[in-house]
Amino acid sequence: MESINVLMTYPMNDYLEQQLDKRCNLHKLWTVPEKSGFLSVHSNSIRAVVGNSIVGANAELIEALPKLEIVATCSVGLDKIDLAKCREKGIRVTNTPDVLTDDVADLGIWLMLAVLRQLCQCDQHVRSGKWKNGDYMLTTKFTGKRVGILGLGRIGMAIAKRAEAFSCTISYFSRTEKPETKYKYYPSLVHLAANSDILVVACALTEETRHIINREVIDALGPKGVLINIARGAHVDESELVSALVDGRLGGAGLDVFENEPQVPEELFQLDNVVLLPHVGTATVGTRQAMADLVIDNLEAHFLNKPLLSPVV
């Protein structure tokens, strides 16, 4: 692939950049001061785009690169790629499923524990010296809770299996019922929320699922309910979430993703019933390397005319 021109849209882990630098002619879009001019100069040479969950390949970028053959995103989510435009132009698309499932599912369980047991506040109770003045207050048990999952795909299923180890009862809502599973299916997200102690967002972001967690769903989850989001920030109507947490209409939230990252509503900073993480679901050394390897393997497969490892389009 030494002669192939590849455009990386956003800084990712050093390993991926180094491997691409070794194997192809790599261009880094975020380092370019005048992007439109750069794209004009290189429009007929760039044949691959590597993106991620922050910057992928929108219609404007795709139209600017008439020789583009493949978009490989270092993420499982596809919401930053114009899939319709890729299909229209015959551009292949790959993502990085499976290799990140365990890390994201692990974090989902940790967020449940962190919110219910107030683990972050317990840590601060020790660090601040307050423990010397008295024990931390009692918190909420996790074992046996009713866990509702929005989206029973790879990650949703992995979360369900982990929650079962805590004797939790599992139910779910998705586009279609999955009869091969033993979990209870709710044909309505509102009904799922009303019958859950914890609601986990684990579905793909599409126009249909944007702001799917709205006021009605939040109110159904209720003042003792907890919302966990390890998917995409735009699944949640953030203003409604903030309002519900501040007003006490929602019991708590564990959030790894936000609607306008890295901007986070400042009202959340003062709430003890909220755990906030900087989108670190896949952020372990081993998983990020495995994701990078899958990106590279897909690119190599494409340019060697071999079957793609994780094709989407």
Question: What whole-number distance in Å separates Cα of residue 187 and Cα of residue 15?
Answer: 43
Enclosing H/E stretch for 103 = helix 101-117
Both 237 and 127 in one domain: the answer is yes
The CATH code of the domain that includes 202 is: 3.40.50.720
Closest CA to 278 of 295, 262, 301: 262
Q: pLDDT at position 235, please?
A: 98
Half-sphere exposure of 148 (CA within 13 A, CB side): 26
225 and 246 inside one domain? yes
Q: Please, are residues 276 and 56 in contact by the beta-carbon 8 Å criterion?
A: no
Largest CA distance in the chain: 69
**Residue closest to 42 by CA, chosen among 89, 5, 91, 96:** 5
Q: Are residues 207 and 259 in the same domain?
A: yes
Q: Residue 311 domain-assigned?
A: no
Instruction: Specify whether 162 is located in the same domain as 52.
Output: no
Are 173 and 263 part of one and the same domain?
A: yes
261 carries an active-site annotation: yes
The position carrying tokens 């906030």 is 276
Q: Which residues contact 38 (CB under 8 A, 6 or more apart)?
A: 27, 29, 32
| Overall number of domains in the chain | 2
Three-state DSSP class for 72?
A: strand
Confirm whether 313 is domain-assigned: no
Q: For residues 206 and 185, state if they share a domain.
A: yes
Q: Are 262 and 145 part of one and the same domain?
A: yes
Residue 56's pLDDT is: 98
Asked whether residue 76 falls in the same domain as residue 124, the answer is no
Q: Is residue 45, in this structure, part of any structural domain at all?
A: yes
What is the percent of the chain where pLDDT is above 90? Answer: 99
Residues of the chain with pLDDT under 70: none
Residue 104 lies in a domain: yes
How many CB atoms lie under 10 A from the CB of residue 228? 29
Q: In this structure, are 165 and 268 located in the same domain? A: yes
- Does the annotation count 87 as an active-site position? no
User: Is there a single domain that holds both residue 120 and residue 255?
Assistant: yes
Q: What per-residue confidence (pLDDT) applies to 2? A: 81
Q: Are residues 106 and 223 in the same domain?
A: yes
Per-residue confidence (pLDDT) for residue 1, from 0 to 100: 81
Report the distance separating Cα 201 and Cα 225, nearest Å.
14
Nearest by Cα to 201 from 164, 152, 149: 149
Task: Please tell me which residue in 60, 88, 216, 261 is annotated as part of the active site.
Answer: 261
Please confirm whether the linkage preceding 265 is cis (ω < 30° from 0): no
Closest CA to 15 of 240, 288, 232: 288
What ranges in 182-269 are assigned the alpha helix state H? 189-194, 215-221, 238-247
The single residue of 232, 235, 288, 302 carrying the catalytic annotation is 232
Q: From the CB of residue 34, how many other CB atoms can be counted at a distance below 10 Å?
A: 9
310 part of a folded domain: no
- Catalytic residue chosen out of the listed positions 125, 154, 215, 279: 279
**DSSP class of 204:** P
Whether 79 is in a domain gets the answer yes
- What pLDDT does 174 receive? 97
Predicted TM-score (pTM) of this structure: 0.95
Q: DSSP letters along 126-145, please?
A: HHTTGGGG-PPPP----TT-
Q: 312 in a domain, yes or no?
A: no
pLDDT of residue 88: 98
Expressed as residue numbers, the domain containing 164 is 100-276
